[in-house]
Amino acid sequence: MLDINYIRQNPEEVVAMLRNRQLSVEEPKLHQLMAFDKKRKQLVQRSDEQKALRNKVSKEIADIKKSGKGSSEELIIQMKSVSEEITRMDTALSQLEEEIENILLALPNKLHPSVPVGRRAADNQIFGEPVTFAHSLDFSVKNHLELGKSLGILDFERGAKVSGAGFPAYIGKGARLERALINFMLDTHSECHGYTEVFPPFLVNQESLRGTGQWPKFADQVYHIGEDDLYAIPTAEVPVTNLHRGEMLETASLPISYAAYSACFRREAGSYGKDTRGFLRVHQFNKVEMVKFTRPETSYAALEEIRSHAEAILVALKIPYRVLLLCSGDISANATKCYDIEVWSPAEQKYLEASSCSNFEDYQARRSNIRFKPDSKSKPEFVHTLNGSGLATSRLMVSLLEHYQTTEGNIRVPEALQRYTGFEEI
């Protein structure tokens, strides 16, 4: 969340950020926050004064009793009244601080100056040039659903029978290909890009969702197991970032880089529309996530590094793609700057998002209380956290199947995956 001191000192910047994000200043209750903060200051000052008075008079009462001269009865009665007032103020202060925190939790992150101002996805900027590879598709291409069904490697119907729409089943060589993708990406990130592999829990508590910003703002998007009060993760970002929740990290250990595979579960509430076929929108999918913890001064260099690592996977697989720099109206509430990487679908004739790479600066670290000391004499500071999909397999699989199809309706396996699959064609 944002630092309350930053909001106090830069109210105009916060208002401009909200407007650039296409949010009403009233929606996150910014004015109410400032009023609460002012009232909190007054309460703290009054409470501190009364506590100082109580301490002073309590010493006087003790001195009177010790000397045996005079009566302290009137002072005791006065201090009882003062103590009752302090209790009332502390209760009011606790309630006020809870209200302030609730508003802070709902406020989005500030935006990096390089983020273009825009209203919607159409205002995102293409970053660099789209990357293409020579694939011989001079015939009528099938979409991934047709290919998956004809080859018996994807079964959306039986997946829906077992769980419901949006829960695909991979069969035979399809399952092997999916596993090959995951293993290839994990190996590349750990062996070539310097990430430490993590296999995290797929269920988390509410505090973990709160720490990375999915709670309470995106509570309607996560699956909840009521009896145990646990949540199915929407991304490995949640458990991996929270590994260090509440910790003081060793400065020498920074940056910390993790790569993690997980299944991801998203309700996708309110997102139903035309792009719901097959892998275009699912409730369960697989993803390899990259997560970094860095010193503040190196976080934007780390963002470019994460983006390049995600791109390296697509280059190795020879999947055509482009990179977008998201505008202020399309970027997620938690991110200060974000790149989306989209793969090309020959059948759909459009780009499909396969990765998002984001810098959150200290937004998540402040919520999760993840800090470090720049040196032994310094005060603790919050680290910067970043993550990037490296990559999500669902839409990557769409592009892979469609680009590597043959005139006979088979699928050639990308050379980079063949040592993982054990076969060259499906």
**How do residues 308-346 score in pLDDT, each as one tens digit?**
999 999 999 999 999 999 999 999 999 999 999 999 999
Q: Is residue 270 pLDDT above 50, yes or no? A: no
Among 299, 366, 395, 399, which one carries the catalytic annotation?
Answer: 395
List the domains of the chain with CATH numbers.
4-106 (1.10.287.40), 121-421 (3.30.930.10)
Sole residue written with tokens 């050379």: 415
Q: Which pLDDT does position 25 carry in this prediction?
A: 66
Residue-wise pLDDT tens digits, 176-191? 999 999 999 999 999 9
How far is it, in rounded angstroms, from Cα 398 to Cα 83? 68
Mean pLDDT of 274-292: 85
Binned at pLDDT 50, 70 and 90, residue 370 comes out as very high
Distances (CA, A) of 18 to 38, 169, 301: 21, 41, 26
What distance in Å separates the CA atoms of residue 64 and residue 68, rounded to the nearest whole number?
Answer: 6
From 281, 307, 367, 371, the catalytic residue: 281
Which of 176, 266, 307, 367 is catalytic? The answer is 266
Question: Each residue of 98-149: pLDDT tens digit?
Answer: 999 999 999 999 999 999 999 999 999 999 999 999 888 999 999 999 999 9
pLDDT tens column, 13-27:
999 999 999 997 665
Query: Residue 275 pLDDT more than 60?
Result: no
Integer Cα distance of 257 and 292 in angstroms: 5
Q: Is 178 in the active site? A: no
Catalytic entry in 257, 345, 355, 356: 356
Average pLDDT, the chain: 93
Residue 245 appears among annotated catalytic residues: no
* Residue 395 falls in the annotated catalytic set: yes
Q: Known catalytic residue: 299?
A: no
Q: Which residue is catalytic, options 146, 348, 353, 381? A: 353
Examine the pLDDT at 83 and tell me if it is beyond 70. Answer: yes
> Is the confidence at residue 76, as pLDDT, over 90?
no
Residue 88 bears catalytic tag: no
Pairing status of strand 196-198 against strand 169-170: unpaired
